[in-house]
Amino acid sequence: MKFAIFTLISLTLVISANAGAYQNGFITGMVVEKISPRKKAEFHRYNTMIIDTSLFDFPLQKNPVCRPIQVKIAKNIRVPFGVRIIFILITILCVQRGIKDPEFGEFMVGYILGMFIESIMGDNDN
């Protein structure tokens, strides 16, 4: 038994599989997604909470008045023009890295697809 294990280990060190950049990226993506699975988002439902107001001591008021609550809603957060330009330049520089080196581009495609398939097919349903 020890001889078989020793032979298997020595053969795996000597023999190397020739995988392309896509296969390396695919396997790397699957391993990374398997090692660090994402946590599911927890939703807090405060609208179903019942508060017993009989336990609170409210101050006495002579003339109670109902005041509407004013909530300020921020619809859009405006990003300054300079920040947009810097973000676009950084994105272009990152994308050009993959365009100039086709092997890296294939690796990234394999990496993204490997992570995607592992997240769909993985059995980590926590």
Tell whether 64 is covered by a domain.
no
Residue 56 lies in a domain: no
Structural domain including 96 reads 20-35+80-126
Would you say residue 26 lies in a domain? yes
Task: Give, for 74, the enclosing helix (H) or strand (E).
Answer: none
Give dist(CA 105, CA 108) in Å, integer. Answer: 5
Q: 28 to each of 89, 107, 119, how far by Cα in Å?
A: 28, 9, 13
Q: Is residue 105 part of a domain?
A: yes
Where does the pLDDT of residue 6 fall: very low under 50, low under 70, confident under 90, or very high at 90 and above?
A: confident
With respect to residue 109, please indicate whether it lies within any of the assigned structural domains. Answer: yes
Q: Please, are residues 98 and 108 in contact by the beta-carbon 8 Å criterion?
A: yes
Question: Closest Cα partner for 105 from 115, 95, 116?
Answer: 95
What's the pLDDT score for residue 98? Answer: 63
Does residue 98 sit within a domain?
yes
22-29: average pLDDT:
84
Is 80 in a helix, a strand, or coil? Answer: coil
What the block records as the tokens of 10 is 């020595």
pLDDT at residue 126 greater than cutoff 60: no
| Torsion sign (Cα): 117, 119, 124, 125 | negative
The CA-to-CA distance between both ends of the chain, in Å, stands at 38
For tokens 């006495």, the residue is 60
Q: What is the pLDDT of residue 74?
A: 65
Q: How many domains does the chain have?
A: 1
| 39 alpha-carbon distance from chain centroid | 9
Share of the chain above pLDDT 90, in %: 0
pLDDT tens-digit series, residues 55-91: 777 777 777 777 777 767 667 778 888 888 888 888 7
Confidence of residue 48 (pLDDT cuts 50, 70, 90): low
pTM of the model: 0.45
11 falls within a domain: no
Q: Which residue has the tokens 């695919």?
A: 26
In a domain? residue 4: no
Mean pLDDT score, 16-25: 76
